[in-house]
C-alpha cells in the first residue's frame, strides 16, 4: 500500500478506471454527509485519548464481510483532521476549499494519506496509522489557508473518507487531547540481577506519565554505556555485552510523545559472572613426554602398553590452576606399534567409550584435546593396544574467574602457502627447514585485531620429511612445545589454539624439510565478549560404521561429494540452544585422499576444510564449530568413501 497526496481529480481517475473495469457498477456522485452506516467494518486499534503532538492513532479497515453489505469493496481510504462539531462534506472538506472544516496536516508525513486497498477478497483489509497534533495547523489550497486548532479545549476528530461501490462514505473518531502534556517522570525501584556477561534490569513506572502514553524505556549501564530498550510487556529488559567480573549499576529513562524524562536513581550494583568457564590462553608448554631421557617430561619414561591407563597431572603445571575446570592440550602419539586409540577423560570418573586420538601403526599423529580436569587436577589416559609414547603440551585452560569468552565463526582461510591459484596470504612458497614466519590472523576472517587468542585448523601438505610446527604469539620466546607433528609424505591437520602476539600475529616455525601450511580460523577468544565454555565427559554422537559400531542415523560411509546434516545439540549433554561445540572428529576406512568440511546447518558451505587425509589412514582432528538450525552441523566429504566418528568434549553458550 502506497501513501501519497490525493486530490479530487485522482479520485475521479480512479472512479473512471473502476467504471471501465465494471460497467455495471453504479457510482454515486461524491456529496454525502458523514454516516456510521458503512458497508465496511472500521475499528480503532490504539488509544485515541491522552494525545499530544506526534501521537499515533491506528485503525483497521475490513471490507471482506461488513455488516451492512454483502459484497462491498474499499477502493481507497482518505483521512483528515476535522473540527468535532462540524458536519463533514466531501466537496467542501476532502477537496479543501476556503472555509472547509477539515485539514490534511498534521497527518502522516503532512499529507492527506490516501491509501489504496485491494479489491479482491480476502485482501480487502488495511491497518492504517496516522500522526495527529495539537495546536494550529494550516492547509493551503489555491493560496488560501484553512486553519484548525486542536487541543484539550478544542476537540477534533479523525475522519475517514472511503470510496466504496455506493460512493463516498465517512467514519469519524473523537480525539482526546492531553492538557499541558510534559515529559514523564523518573522511573523508580530500579533493580538489577547479574547474568553471564549480562544483567536483567527491572523497574516501576514513574508516578506521572506527563499526560501522554509512555512508549519506551531505555536502560543504560555504567560503566560502558551498554543499553537495552523496552517497548512492551513487563517492565524489564536484559543488558548484554557486559564484562564478567566487572561491577555495574543501571539507570532507566521513560519516553513519551513529548520526549525523554529524567533518569531514575541508580540501581544496586551487580557483577556479571560466567555460568560456564572462560578461557585463559598460555604460551605452549610441554607437561608430558613418555619417551626416555633426554626427551622425558613428567613421571613416565616408558610407552603406554596395550590396555594401560595412567593418570597425568595437569592442574598445577605450566600456569594451569589445580582447580581449573578444563584444559586445552595438544596431544601427540609416536612410536606407534599397532592400530589403536587414546581415551582421555577427567581422573576419578568412569572411562567413556569415546576416543580422543586414533592412529594406524608407524604413524606420528597429533590432536587437540579439550578435557575436563578431574580429581586433584588430573586426567586419565588409556591406550587400547600396542605400544605408544604420548606427548602433551598445554595451550590454555578454562575456569570461572574473569577471562576470555569465545566467539565462533564460519570457517575462513587466512593462509595457504601453495602457489597461485591456491595462495592465500603473503607466502607462496613452502616453509623450509629451520624457517620461522610471522602470520597475520587478527584483522582477518572476522577476527578482531585485539583478540586475545584464536582457534585455528592448521594443515600441512607436500611434506618432504618428518618434522613439526611450533606456533606461538609473535614477540614471545619460541617454546619447546610442538603444535603439529608428521612423517614424510603425509597430509595432516591439527586444531591449534594459540594466543595472538604483536599486531595480532602468530609465529610459525618448521623444524626440517619443506612443508606447505594452510590455516583456517574457526573462532576467537576476547575478554568481555563471547560465550562461556561448558566442559563435558567425552560422549559419542556419531559413528557411521555399521552395527554394532553405529551411533546416530547413518550406518554407511560418506561417498563422493556427499553432505549430511548431523545432530549435536540435544545429545551427550549439549543443549539444542548451544552456540558452538568442541568435537573430536575421526575419519577411517578412507578410500582416497580427501577432506571434510564441517559448518552450521542453514548457512552457505565455506571453502575451508576441517580435516584432511590421504588414502588408507585413520586420523582425528578437533573441530570447534558453531551449531546451526535445530542444533545441527553439515558434514561434507570431497571424494572417495569415508566413515566418520564424532565425539563431543563440551559446548559454548
- Grid look-up 560418506 returns 558
pLDDT digits (tens, 9 = 90+) for 394-420: 999 998 777 888 998 888 899 999 999
Kindly state the average pLDDT of the residues 165-189. 81
3-state secondary structure at position 8 = helix
CA 455, distance to chain mean position in Å, is: 18
In Å, what is the CA distance from 349 to each residue of 217, 385, 636?
50, 21, 34
DSSP code at position 50? S
Q: What is the pLDDT of residue 69?
A: 47
pLDDT on residue 651: 92
Mean pLDDT of the chain: 84
Q: Which residue has the cell 556479571?
A: 272
pLDDT for the residue 571? 92
**Model pTM above 0.75:** no
- For residue 469, is pLDDT > 50? yes
**Greater pLDDT, 194 or 633:** 633
What is the mean predicted confidence (pLDDT) over 100-111?
A: 54
The strand order across the sheet containing 227-230 reads: 227-230, 216-222, 249-255
Domain positions in the chain: 3-175, 188-255, 281-394, 403-530, 531-653
**Low-confidence winner among 3-12, 51-60, 366-375, 577-586 (lowest mean pLDDT):** 3-12
Looking at the domain covering 403-530, what would its CATH class be? mainly beta
pLDDT at 86 over 60: yes
Domain 3-175 sits in CATH at: 2.60.40.230
User: Do the domains spanning 3-175 and 281-394 agree at the CATH topology level?
Assistant: no
Contact 77, 162 (CB under 8 A): yes
CATH T-level fold of 531-653: Jelly Rolls (2.60.120)
Query: Given pLDDT bands bounded at 50, 70 and 90, which one contains residue 140?
Result: very low
Other C-beta atoms closer than 10 Å to the C-beta of 641 total 16
Please state, in angstroms and rounded to a whole number, the distance separating the CA atoms of residues 263 and 61.
40
| CA pair distance 420, 120, nearest whole angstrom | 60
> How high is the pLDDT of residue 5?
35
Q: What are 270-285's pLDDT values in tens digits? A: 988 766 788 999 888 9
**Of 240 and 289, more confident:** 289
Please give the CATH architecture assigned to the domain spanning 281-394.
Answer: Sandwich (2.60)
Q: Cβ of 585: how many Cβ atoms within 10 Å?
A: 24
Listed range (186-200, 285-299, 415-429, 552-566) with the worst mean pLDDT? 186-200
Burial class of residue 483 (count of CB atoms within 10 Å of its CB; 0-12, 13-18, 19+): buried
Torsion of CA 401, 403, 408, 411, to 10 degrees: -130
Q: Is residue 432 very low, low, confident or very high in pLDDT (cuts 50, 70, 90)?
A: very high
Residue 31: the pLDDT is 39
Q: Which helix (H) or strand (E) holds 129?
A: strand 125-131
CATH architecture of 188-255: Sandwich (2.60)
Residue 546 has pLDDT above 90, yes or no: yes
Is the pLDDT assigned to residue 653 strictly greater than 70?
Answer: yes
Residue 247 clears pLDDT 90, i.e. is over it = yes
Q: Which three cell numbers stand for residue 523?
A: 573462532
Q: pLDDT at residue 262 above 80?
A: yes
Amino acid at each position: 500500500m502506497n501513501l501519497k497526496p490525493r486530490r479530487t481529480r485522482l479520485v475521479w481517475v480512479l472512479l473512471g478506471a473502476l467504471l471501465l473495469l465494471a460497467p455495471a457498477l453504479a457510482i454515486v456522485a461524491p456529496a454525502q454527509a458523514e454516516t456510521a452506516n458503512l458497508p465496511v467494518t472500521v475499528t480503532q486499534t490504539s488509544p485515541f485519548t491522552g494525545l499530544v503532538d506526534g501521537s499515533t492513532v491506528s485503525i483497521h479497515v475490513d471490507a471482506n464481510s461488513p455488516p451492512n453489505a454483502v459484497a462491498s469493496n474499499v477502493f481507497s481510504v482518505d483521512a483528515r483532521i476535522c473540527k468535532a462539531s462540524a458536519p463533514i462534506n466531501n466537496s467542501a472538506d476532502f477537496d479543501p476549499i476556503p472555509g472547509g472544516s477539515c485539514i490534511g496536516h498534521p497527518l502522516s508525513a503532512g499529507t492527506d494519506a490516501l491509501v489504496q486497498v485491494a479489491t479482491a477478497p480476502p485482501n480487502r483489509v488495511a491497518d492504517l496509522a496516522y500522526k495527529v497534533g495539537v495546536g494550529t495547523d494550516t492547509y493551503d489550497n489555491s493560496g488560501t489557508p484553512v486553519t484548525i486548532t486542536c487541543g484539550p479545549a478544542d476537540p477534533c476528530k479523525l475522519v475517514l473518507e472511503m470510496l466504496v461501490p455506493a460512493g463516498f462514505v465517512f467514519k469519524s473518531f473523537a480525539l482526546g487531547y492531553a492538557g499541558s502534556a510534559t515529559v514523564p517522570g523518573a522511573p523508580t525501584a530500579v533493580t538489577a540481577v547479574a547474568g553471564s556477561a549480562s544483567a536483567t534490569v527491572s523497574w516501576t513506572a514513574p508516578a506521572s506519565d506527563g499526560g501522554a502514553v509512555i512508549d519506551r524505556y531505555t536502560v543504560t549501564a555504567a560503566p560502558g554505556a551498554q543499553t537495552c530498550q523496552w517497548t512492551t510487556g513487563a517492565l524489564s529488559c536484559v543488558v548484554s555485552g557486559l564484562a564478567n567480573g566487572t561491577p555495574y549499576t543501571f539507570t532507566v529513562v521513560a519516553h513519551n510523545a513529548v520526549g525523554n524524562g529524567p533518569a531514575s536513581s541508580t540501581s544496586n550494583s551487580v557483577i556479571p559472572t560466567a555460568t560456564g568457564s572462560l578461557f585463559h590462553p598460555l604460551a605452549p608448554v610441554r607437561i608430558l613426554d613418555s619417551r626416555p631421557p633426554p626427551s622425558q617430561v613428567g613421571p613416565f619414561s616408558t610407552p603406554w602398553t596395550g590396555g594401560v591407563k595412567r593418570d597425568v597431572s595437569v592442574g598445577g603445571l605450566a600456569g594451569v590452576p589445580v582447580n581449573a575446570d578444563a584444559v586445552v592440550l595438544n596431544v601427540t602419539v609416536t612410536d606407534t606399534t599397532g592400530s589403536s586409540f587414546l581415551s582421555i577423560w577427567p581422573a576419578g570418573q568412569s572411562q567413556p567409550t569415546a576416543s580422543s586420538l586414533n592412529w594406524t601403526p608407524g604413524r606420528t599423529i597429533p590432536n587437540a584435546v579439550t578435557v575436563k580436569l578431574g580429581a586433584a587436577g588430573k586426567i586419565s589416559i588409556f591406550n587400547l593396544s600396542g605400544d605408544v609414547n604420548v606427548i602433551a603440551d598445554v595451550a590454555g585452560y578454562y575456569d570461572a574467574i574473569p577471562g576470555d569468552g569465545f566467539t565462533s565463526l564460519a570457517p575462513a582461510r587466512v593462509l595457504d602457502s601453495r602457489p597461485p591459484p591456491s595462495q592465500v596470504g603473503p607466502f607462496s612458497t613452502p616453509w623450509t627447514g629451520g624457517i620461522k614466519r610471522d602470520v597475520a590472523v587478527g584483522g582477518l576472517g572476522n577476527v578482531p585485531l585485539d583478540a586475545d587468542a584464536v582457534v585455528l585448523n592448521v594443515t600441512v601438505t607436500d611434506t618432504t620429511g618428518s618434522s613439526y610446527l611450533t606456533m606461538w604469539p609473535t614477540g614471545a620466546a619460541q617454546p619447546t612445545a610442538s603444535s603439529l607433528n608428521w612423517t614424510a609424505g603425509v597430509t595432516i591437520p591439527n586444531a591449534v589454539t594459540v594466543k595472538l602476539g604483536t599486531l595480532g600475529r602468530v609465529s610459525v616455525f618448521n623444524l626440517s624439510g619443506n612443508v606447505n601450511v594452510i590455516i583456517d580460523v574457526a573462532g576467537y577468544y576476547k575478554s568481555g565478549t563471547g560465550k562461556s565454555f561448558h566442559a563435558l565427559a567425552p560422549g559419542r554422537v556419531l559413528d557411521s560404521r555399521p552395527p554394532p559400531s553405529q551411533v546416530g542415523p547413518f550406518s554407511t560411509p560418506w561417498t563422493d561429494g556427499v553432505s549430511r546434516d548431523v545432530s549435536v545439540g540435544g545429545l551427550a549433554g549439549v543443549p539444542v540452544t548451544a552456540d558452538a561445540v568442541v568435537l573430536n572428529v575421526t575419519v577411517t576406512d578412507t578410500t582416497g585422499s580427501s577432506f571434510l568440511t564441517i559448518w552450521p546447518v542453514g548457512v552457505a558451505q565455506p571453502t575451508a576444510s576441517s580435516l584432511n587425509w590421504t588414502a588408507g589412514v585413520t586420523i582425528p582432528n578437533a573441530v570447534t564449530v558453531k551449531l546451526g538450525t535445530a542444533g545441527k552441523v553439515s558434514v561434507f566429504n570431497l571424494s572417495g568413501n569415508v566413515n566418520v566418528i564424532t565425539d563431543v568434549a563440551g559446548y559454548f553458550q
